[in-house]
């Protein structure tokens, strides 16, 4: 990236925001306060990215900020007031204005101790990385870059404005943020930053699970999540944040095709990112498909990352010296659920990721043994609202170097998807139900609500799965036949 071109892009972006920047800056200046656009907003402007949210910093204290924006902001909130941050909305723009500050952590505390500062330079040196330590003073639009952020942005390097040790001591979460930027921007981490992350990796333990979760989510949905994950594992942070995945480094896969299961999993993640857009939709709310999702998608990416974490627990050697990992899909699903619970992910997201991990082997054997329509129905029914994601994960899990084998597996899955589509058009597979519901079962058999009704319902569902739609008369005949067998 050319620095001069980036600077020109930034000025153009600022011109487009003049209707927000100029009035706000004038209100602060009229009361004798400084104001600067800062951090990610400046970085995004230099990169030519959209800027839906704007971040400002000022020497005004929180109560003074509230007084300045009164009558100008369309709405405001002060939930972050004790940390020096006031949020507001102006038109369609979300804005945060923060008093110059420094955040530091006590050795054993998860909560930051906030001290307000008095100068922009002091504020910038305390920020996480040089690419976020740039500012634009307003209203004059003076670019401020005391730590070479633009140079690092042009070079694609993640570096701290002060020493990395001081930066990570102030807030250890910055180590994860460095991995996140590596993923989002596909930037390299400076050697001294990597070394400090390695030496201080244990410091991540004092950060709350919620903050770690948020950074991990952003990392996984970045441009190149593999880069961020590799950085976490290489520096030892992964041993604290994702220990089940980090443990894969020493596991050989059963086909001896890869250096280890760790490398295989990263390849699956790469391939998942590549396939994601082919199955994603622009707006799932407008789709009839319950498995629709938009890109980038955390669920399928995290499932790809974690799909083999059950292998260390299930590793066995056979008589011929080969390695097996029987039932690693089931074990892996449980380990994934446990890790996501520890990271405070919501139940729905956790359930979906774990289901994909559990089902990621279900397809294998399709082309060899051949599947009946019943088996296809079960595949779709078991996948439920994760069918599209399961398509991605299953295809991405093929990392063999044997070209003929890879092509055969791809053809087999193409055939399975065609059969799913054909059956879905005929039978509405996404909502398979017995042809007779509970009320009809009770009427036909003349029985009241009871466990027997549930047993009859399950029997009719089995018929639906095995034989498809048999028609109302045949369904009733089979129900009566089953009932007679119950005595």
Write down the pLDDT at residue 104: 56
Alpha helices (runs of H) in 343-402, residue ranges in sequence order: 347-359, 366-369, 373-383, 387-396
Distance of CA 189 to the CA centre of its chain: 21
Give the model confidence (pLDDT) of 35-85 as tens digits.
999 999 999 999 998 888 999 999 999 999 999 999 999 999 998 898 899
User: Which one of 3.90.320, 2.40.50, 1.10.3210, 1.10.3470 gives the CATH number of domain 253-431?
Assistant: 1.10.3210
3-class SS at 56? Answer: strand
* Rounded CA separation 43/22 (Å): 19
Common-topology check for domains 156-241 and 253-431: no
Write down the pLDDT at residue 258: 42
Give the model confidence (pLDDT) of 179-235 as tens digits.
999 999 999 999 999 999 999 999 999 999 999 999 999 999 999 999 999 999 999
Write down the pLDDT at residue 325: 79
> Would you identify the CATH topology of the domain 156-241?
Hydrophobic Seed Protein (1.10.110)
Write down the pLDDT at residue 110: 53
Contact between 163 and 193 (Cβ < 8 Å): no
Q: Which stretches in the chain have pLDDT values below 50?
A: 257-259
Burial of 316 (0-12, 13-18, 19+ CB in 10 A): exposed
Instruction: Say how many CA atoms lie within 13 Å of 17 toward its Cβ.
Output: 28
Write down the pLDDT at residue 377: 85
Supply the pTM of this predicted model.
0.83
User: Which one of 3.30.420.40, 3.40.50.150, 3.30.70.1140, 3.30.460.10 gives the CATH number of domain 1-154?
Assistant: 3.30.460.10
Distance of CA 160 to the CA centre of its chain: 25
**Which residue ranges make up each domain of the chain?**
1-154, 156-241, 253-431, 438-485
Edge-to-edge strand list for the sheet holding 35-38: 75-77, 85-90, 93-99, 53-58, 35-38, 135-138, 142-144
How far is the CA of 259 from the CAs of 218, 264, 285, 318, 439, in angstroms? 28, 8, 42, 20, 58
């Amino acid at each position: 990236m050319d620095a001069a071109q980036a600077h020109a892009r930034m000025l153009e972006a600022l011109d487009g925001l003049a209707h927000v920047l100029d009035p706000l800056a004038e209100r602060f200046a009229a009361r004798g306060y400084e104001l600067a656009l800062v951090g990610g907003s400046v970085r995004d402007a230099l990169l030519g990215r959209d800027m839906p949210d704007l971040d400002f910093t000022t020497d005004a204290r929180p109560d003074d900020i509230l007084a300045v924006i009164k009558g100008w902001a369309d709405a405001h909130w002060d939930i972050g007031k004790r940390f020096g941050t006031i949020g507001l909305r102006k038109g369609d723009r979300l804005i945060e204005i923060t008093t110059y500050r420094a955040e530091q952590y006590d050795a054993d505390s998860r909560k930051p101790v906030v001290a307000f500062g008095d100068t922009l330079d002091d504020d910038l040196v305390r920020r996480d990385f040089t690419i976020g330590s740039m500012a634009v003073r307003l209203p004059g639009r003076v670019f401020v870059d005391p730590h070479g952020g633009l140079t690092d942005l042009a070079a694609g390097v993640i570096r701290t404005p002060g020493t990395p040790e001081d930066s990570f001591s102030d807030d250890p979460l910055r180590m994860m943020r460095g991995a996140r930027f590596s993923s989002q921007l596909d930037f390299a981490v400076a050697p001294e930053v990597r070394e400090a992350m390695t030496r201080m990796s244990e410091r991540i333990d004092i950060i709350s699970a919620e903050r770690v979760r948020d950074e991990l989510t952003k990392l996984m949905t970045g441009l190149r999540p593999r880069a961020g994950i590799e950085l976490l594992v290489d520096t030892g942070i992964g041993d604290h944040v994702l220990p089940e995945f980090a443990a894969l480094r020493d596991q050989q896969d059963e086909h001896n095709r890869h250096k280890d299961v760790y490398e295989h999993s990263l390849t699956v993640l790469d391939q998942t990112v590549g396939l994601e857009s082919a199955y994603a939709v622009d707006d799932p709310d407008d789709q009839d498909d319950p498995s629709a999702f938009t890109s980038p998608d955390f669920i399928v990416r995290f499932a790809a990352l974690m799909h083999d974490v059950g292998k260390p627990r299930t590793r066995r050697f056979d008589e011929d010296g080969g390695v097996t990992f029987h039932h690693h899909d089931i074990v892996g699903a449980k380990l994934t659920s446990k890790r996501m619970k520890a990271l405070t992910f919501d139940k729905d997201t956790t359930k979906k990721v774990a289901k994909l991990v559990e089902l990621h082997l279900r397809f294998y054997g399709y082309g060899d043994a051949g599947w009946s329509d019943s088996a296809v129905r079960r595949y779709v029914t078991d996948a439920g609202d994760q069918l599209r994601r399961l398509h991605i994960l299953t295809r991405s899990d093929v990392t063999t170097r044997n070209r003929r084998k890879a092509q055969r597996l791809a053809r087999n899955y193409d055939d399975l998807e065609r059969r799913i589509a054909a059956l879905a058009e005929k039978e509405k597979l996404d909502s398979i139900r017995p042809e007779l519901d509970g009320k009809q079962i009770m009427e036909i058999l003349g029985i009241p609500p009871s466990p027997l009704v549930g047993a009859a319902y399950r029997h009719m569902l089995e018929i639906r799965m095995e034989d498809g739609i048999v028609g109302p008369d045949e369904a009733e005949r089979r129900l009566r036949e089953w009932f007679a067998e119950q005595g």
